[in-house]
A = this chain, B = another copy of it.
């Protein structure tokens, strides 16, 4: 296939261009480099034959691009983000995060895997069609935002205000990471999220534990009671109705779960010895992908670092995330948690809603989804199919707001260290990503 051959002939140049893109430190949370990155990205799209515009949102502008395919061809909406997490070499990087470096077959740079390397591969796939004088076989709409690392605060409003612009037949977003085996990976949804803080108020100001300990109340005692009240001895959430709407795992999902290959060796590499504390397949994936959960992310208040400090905290907070399945509504759950704690006598505990994400789910038997699966399989390896991600992505904006089937199609290696030091993309996986993206566009036609 000419397009694939072309991409193979351009590997060196594509990598060099990706490195240029990664040199821009587009850190949305710090408000730096995002305009430069948006301009650079629009330029990359133009060169690839994608008609690009920088469109305003209520926050940081996004880059929108279009490719017209043949008449009556289906339309694919590609989502990604050009902003990256903050990074500093002092956090444990082996090279400067914004001076990309190739070592042992990996390209190390902030944003290499999350997410510049991934939407860049999609762009290069389009370019390959144009450079080989072939029309792109489907219509494409690129929606690359600059606020993902801030929690996408402006995206939903943009999508809701631009439904016509974004009309499509399927959303196909490249973010997240491949199964540890490196096989092509597709996910058909995600768990939802309710992130809350429970706040126990003490005297309001941190005090010396010597001068006040025993006289001033310590808010952590009460906070622990409230947190523990949310769970029973078996680890099940006690909030009434929590499990009511959760459907049993269907046959198709069960098959999908059983089809996910064992990541054991890779888990071992990530987790080390602790891997023995994690259930085996397919129970691991069943729990992580299809069951809701309450997690303690941490406690805030007093002293939380290495070593010691004698302090009596003026207030204390617990940071909790609920992961939810598609039948659970995070906003309703927040109300339920508030009511439950009140009913259990915790009027003194403040409950703060920090973030919500709707869960989402796209049926595997949707004809466009089937075409995507077959197209990817046609490239080589049988794809790994997750009924959904365990994490939370803005997928419901596509499934609910735009009414689209939505497939997540990551193009970065599982050990890409997203959000961590030494973020990287496997160079071979990057190049194959360009080819798979081109194959997928062809297969959807």
Report A's interface with B, CB cutoff 8 A: 190-191, 193, 195, 197, 202-205, 207-218, 220-221, 224, 227-228, 231, 235, 270-275, 277-279, 283-284, 287-288, 291-293, 295-314, 319, 321, 323, 354-355, 389-392
* Alpha-carbon gap, A322 to B212, bound state (A): 12
Q: Taking each of A190, A306, A391, which has the highest tally of chain B beta carbons within 10 Å of its own beta carbon? A: A391
Interface pair B389/A295, CB less than 8 Å apart: no
Partner of A293, one of B214, B287, B301: B214
Interface pair A295/B323, CB less than 8 Å apart: no
* Alpha-carbon gap, A277 to B235, bound state (A): 34
When distances are taken between beta carbons in the complex, the residues of chain B under 8 Å from A278 are 203, 212, 215-216
When distances are taken between beta carbons in the complex, the residues of chain B under 8 Å from A323 are 209-210, 213-214
- Mind listing 21 A-B residue pairs with CB under 8 Å? A195-B308, A195-B310, A202-B277, A203-B275, A203-B278, A204-B272, A210-B323, A211-B390, A213-B288, A214-B323, A215-B284, A218-B295, A296-B313, A297-B302, A297-B303, A298-B309, A299-B299, A299-B304, A302-B319, A308-B354, A310-B391
Q: Known contacts A195-B310, A299-B299; is A389 also within 8 Å of B203 by CB?
A: no
State the Cβ distance, A102 to closest chain B Cβ, in Å: 26
State the Cβ distance, A356 to closest chain B Cβ, in Å: 11
When distances are taken between beta carbons in the complex, the residues of chain B under 8 Å from A279 are 215
Interface pair B215/A288, CB less than 8 Å apart: yes
* Alpha-carbon gap, A227 to B300, bound state (A): 16
* Alpha-carbon gap, A392 to B310, bound state (A): 10
* Alpha-carbon gap, A235 to B224, bound state (A): 14
Identical copies of this chain, number: 2
- Nearest B residue to A275 via CB reads B203
Q: Known contacts A298-B302, A302-B298; is A274 also within 8 Å of B211 by CB?
A: no
When distances are taken between beta carbons in the complex, the residues of chain B under 8 Å from A204 are 271-274
- Nearest B residue to A225 via CB reads B228
* Alpha-carbon gap, A13 to B423, bound state (A): 58
Interface pair B293/A311, CB less than 8 Å apart: no
- Nearest B residue to A205 via CB reads B271
When distances are taken between beta carbons in the complex, the residues of chain B under 8 Å from A392 are 210, 310
- Nearest B residue to A190 via CB reads B210
Interface pair A391/B210, CB less than 8 Å apart: yes
- Nearest B residue to A195 via CB reads B308
Q: Taking each of A216, A297, A323, which has the highest tally of chain B beta carbons within 10 Å of its own beta carbon? A: A297
Using A202-B277, A220-B296 as known contacts, list a sample of 13 further A-B pairs with CB atoms less than 8 Å apart, ordered by residue number in A. Answer: A193-B310, A195-B310, A203-B274, A209-B321, A212-B288, A213-B295, A213-B321, A214-B291, A217-B277, A221-B296, A274-B314, A298-B313, A308-B355
- Nearest B residue to A310 via CB reads B321
When distances are taken between beta carbons in the complex, the residues of chain B under 8 Å from A270 are 205, 207
